Amino acid sequence: MKIGIKNKQIDEDRFLKMREKVLSLWPTGKEVNLEEAIEYQKNLPESKSFFKVTERLRKEGRTVVFPRAGTPILEDEIKLCRTLVESGVPLIPVTTDSYSRSLRFKKVQESLEESIRTGREMLNGYPLINHGVKNSRKLVESCEGAFNPRTSRLSQGLGLEIAFASGMTAAATSPFALFGAYEKNATLEETFASSQHVYRLMGYYAERGPILTTDLHGWLSCGVYPWSVNISSMIIESLMAAEQGVRSIIPLVQCEGNMAQDLAWIRVTPKLIREYLDQFGYKNTILPGTFACQLPLFPVPQDMGEAFGYLNYMAMVGALAQVEAVSVRTIDEGAGVATPEAHALSYRSANWILKIMRDQKIQIEMKEVEAEERITEMEVRAIINKVLEMGDGDVLIGSIKAVDAGVLDSPFCPNVHVRDEVLGVKDSRGACRYAEFGNLPIPEEAKKFHREKLAERERKEGRKMDYHVAVEDLWAFSQGRLIGMPSSSSPASSIKPLAVAKRKPTVVTGTVGMDAHVIGTKVLSRTLRDSGFKVVELGCLTQPEEFIRAAIETDADVMLMTSLYGMAELDLRGFKEKCIEAGLGDVLLYIGGILAVGRHDFKEDEEKFKKMGFDRVYPPEADLKSAIKDLWNDLKAKEKA
């Protein structure tokens, strides 16, 4: 395997040449003057420094909410950010839209202009690059708070140039999160190269005074899964960032619902990151705080009361763990992109928990927490040691080889370069365990621990802990349960073939547009196969034209699309007409998920997409068993017609 990247700081001449190419991607790149931007950063008040705000929170013993939010129109984004500040949020997110993340800037501009003209939000975030430095400085100067944008592998170079020149002082830059949860075809080496460049940009600022913060997510699993790979990848990301001169690093620790395990992961992560940074000589790299994070890829309750419960569990974990911030999902997360009002209600609720619990300074000492810490440390050290061995001491080379070999691996991953040979389920107390280890270098002592915990649940339930249980467990926490239970309405219920056809009907599945949410289409694809269909699985980030090509090549009977990012209407305008032009007018069209930006009446979305030519339209909580019955019935009716 030929690898062209190393964990070595990019020299200044090469870095400045790289910047020229990045800034030429869109005209707003010309607004960035690096030296002027550094001076602008130096003159910002401390309240706008993500690093200094987090340090102050740690010294004062406070925990705040760190949300995700973004809306396309500048004035609406300003209103949203002011609403967040009024709700007690000093750390302000700027979530960019999905078209910006794929560099479709002309499409962004069209959609932005339509949003302004109609008053409807056509984009699912703030188009940072199209707004440029001038507008984004208006945003930063509009309220108190430290701004932190969310971008993508493709857009982070230009996006963060504009963000930092605008006065934003932090960014999410995790290469493993981008590679393992938001990319379909990019290699880990390509993702490393993109993040290495922005880390060098942050280091360039730091060398001249302004300390910019990177918050790291690590490899986000799309399923129920122990977080030893995630923590290992955050250590790798920290070493990578520090080598490029980044001075401030904040780990975001994902929580899966078992209190003992969540607390253990929050304790272990900064401890091990600090240890490895020191071991490799990066002692001047600071960890100003640790954030707890509500797992972004979990199903979120549709019911508002349950959604409040879900976010307040995370607030409770953050308060007990005494972290500096907790990232929670809004009450509207399961229904669409949240309104400013939903943000305000959600964070006022979380802040109530944080204030009441954090001031009590409760110290949690439990045998279960200690046991989880010990096992997690054992697994993380084994993984890091193997990665370093494979890279002859270079952590980036070792990581690339490790992904290829399955030494770093994750279930339900959207990226085609990942082995996906591991599987996690929950034990009887709701803690995540390995059901299948794949090629992870987990020590035998830890493997025995996981097997014994799963054996307890197997004895209680009288069934094997397998793939179907893993999917049930994924849905459980959002339904108010620690572990999954088989039921007729569960998306993971066993669905027997409903008919014996002369030939297997062919269904093309995938997540449409620039949407990276993949677990729904993966579960759906497997369930369809189990029900007697031939499935052509396109995965996430699938353009409408790819569906048409696949349907032609496979003589498909059905195209079944999922979408959770709210922009399916833009993606699929004129799609039925294109199908007819391609000779696919008789192919059934199904779609399901969150189909518009903001909370909507599903009936309106259903009517809209049926007018667009779709035969069936489903909400995100739709029962798969009923949907597959619909599909068989529609195919039978089509045969008789």
pLDDT tens column, 440-455: 999 999 999 999 999 9
Provide the pLDDT confidence category of residue 61 given band limits of 50, 70 and 90.
very high
Alpha-carbon distance of 362 to 320, in angstroms, equals 6
Residue 105 confidence (pLDDT)? 97
Q: Please choose, from the candidates 504, 544, 415, 440, the residue with its C-alpha nearest in 3D space to the C-alpha of residue 153.
A: 415
Residue 314 makes CB contacts below 8 A (sequence gap 6+) with: 255, 292, 293, 294, 326, 327, 328, 350
Q: What is the pLDDT of residue 496?
A: 54
Q: Give the integer Cα–Cα distance in Å for 61 and 70.
A: 29
Statement: residue 520 has pLDDT above 90: no
Q: How many CB atoms lie within 10 A of CB 382?
A: 18
Six-digit token string for 556: 């498909």
| pLDDT value, residue 515 | 80
Tally of CB atoms within 10 A around 275? 13
Measured CA to CA, the distance from residue 291 to residue 313 in angstroms comes to 15
Structure-token match 């509009």, residue found = 142
pLDDT confidence band for 226 (50 / 70 / 90): very high
Residue 158 has pLDDT above 70, yes or no: yes
Checking if the pLDDT of 495 tops 70, the result is no
Helix (H) or strand (E) holding 369: helix 367-390
Residue 299 pLDDT level (bands cut at 50, 70, 90)? low
CA 58 – CA 337 distance, rounded (Å)? 31
Beta strand 170-172 pairing with 213-216:
parallel
Write out the catalytic residue numbers.
515, 517
Q: Examine the pLDDT at 375 and tell me if it is beyond 90.
A: yes
Amino acid at 295: L
Give tens-digit pLDDT for 74-124.
999 999 999 999 999 999 999 999 999 999 999 999 999 999 999 888 998
Distance from C-alpha of 395 to C-alpha of 123, rounded to nearest angstrom: 38
Question: Which range is least confidently modeled, 132-141, 155-164, 514-523?
Answer: 514-523
Residue corresponding to tokens 């006022």: 348
Tokens of 453: 């915990």
Cα–Cα distance for residue pair 212/169, rounded to 1 Å: 5
Q: Which of 104-118, 263-277, 294-308, 430-444 has the lowest average pLDDT? A: 294-308
Phi/psi of residue 403, each to 5°?
A: -65, -40
Task: Give, for 425, the enclosing helix (H) or strand (E).
Answer: strand 423-426
The whole model's pTM is what? 0.90
Give me the helix-helix angle, 188-207 and 395-405, nearest 10°: 160
Map tokens 């040979």 to a residue. 421
**% of the chain residues with pLDDT over 70:** 95
Least confident of 308-322, 418-432, 557-571: 557-571
User: Span 63-76, mean pLDDT?
Assistant: 93
Q: Average pLDDT for residues 516-522, to the nearest whole number?
A: 82
**pLDDT value at residue 493:** 46
First to last CA, the chain: 55
Note the pLDDT of residue 199: 98
* Cα dist from 106 to 26, 102, 110, 382, whole Å: 10, 11, 6, 47
With contact defined as beta carbons under 8 Å apart, do 398 and 232 qualify?
no
Specify the residue for token string 């996981």.
450
Q: What is the pLDDT of residue 516?
A: 79
Query: Over the chain, what is the mean pLDDT?
Result: 92
pLDDT greater than 60 at residue 491 = no
Residue type, 50: F
pLDDT value of position 502: 64
Nearest-5° Cα angle at 478, 522 to 337: 75
Tokens of 190: 């390509």
Q: What is the pLDDT of residue 14?
A: 96
Is the pLDDT score of 480 beyond 90? no
Is the pLDDT score of 295 beyond 80?
A: no
In angstroms, the CA 433 to CA 442 distance is 12
Phi/psi at 111 (nearest 5 deg)?
Answer: -70, -35
Give the pair of three-digit tokens for residue 430. 């709701």
Domains, the chain, in order of start with CATH, read 20-358 (3.20.20.240), 506-640 (3.40.50.280)
Residues near 22 by Cβ (< 8 Å), separated by ≥ 6? Answer: 29, 157, 158, 161, 197
**Which helix (DSSP H) or strand (DSSP E) does residue 509 occupy?**
strand 506-511
Alpha-carbon distance of 557 to 505, in angstroms, equals 6
Q: If pLDDT is split at 50, 70 and 90, which confidence band does 361 have?
A: confident
Name the CA radius of gyration of the chain, rounded. Answer: 24
- Evaluated on CA atoms 590, 593, 598, 601, the torsion sign reads positive
- Model confidence at 488, pLDDT cuts 50, 70, 90, reads very low
Classify strands 432-436 and 423-426 as parallel, antiparallel or unpaired.
antiparallel
Please answer whether residues 443 and 374 qualify as being in contact, where contact means their C-beta atoms are separated by less than 8 angstroms.
no
Q: What is the C-alpha to C-alpha distance for residues 121 and 9, in angstroms, rounded to an integer?
A: 41
What's the mean pLDDT in 588-606?
82
Site of tokens 């090469």: 14
pLDDT at site 500: 44
| pLDDT above 90: percentage of residues in the chain | 74
Provide the residue type at 293 as one letter: C
pLDDT digits (tens, 9 = 90+) for 31-53: 999 999 999 999 999 999 999 99
Residues 128-132 have a mean pLDDT of 98
Q: 254: which strand partners? A: 293
pLDDT of residue 492: 43
| Nearest of 486, 479, 381, 376 to residue 431 by alpha carbon | 376
Maximum average pLDDT range among 227-231, 474-478, 510-514, 629-633: 227-231
**CB-based contacts of 459, cutoff 8 Å, min separation 6:** none
Least confident of 47-51, 286-290, 303-307: 303-307
Contacts of 313 (CB under 8 A, 6+ apart): 257
- For tokens 């969310």, name the residue: 150
Which residue, 451, 413, 418, 419, is CA-closest to 438?
419
Other Cβ atoms less than 10 A from the Cβ of 13: the count is 8
At a CB cut-off of 8 Å and minimum separation 6, what does 523 contact?
Answer: 471, 491, 492, 624
Q: What is the structure's pLDDT at 487? A: 57
Q: How far apart are CA 624 and CA 520, in angstroms?
A: 10
Sequence letter at residue 600: H
Amino acid at 436: E
Which residue carries 């699938």 as its tokens? Answer: 542
182-215 tens-digit pLDDT: 999 999 999 999 999 999 999 999 999 999 999 9
Dihedral, 412, 337, 318, 174 alpha carbons, nearest 10? 50
Alpha helices (runs of H) in 182-227, residue ranges in sequence order: 188-207
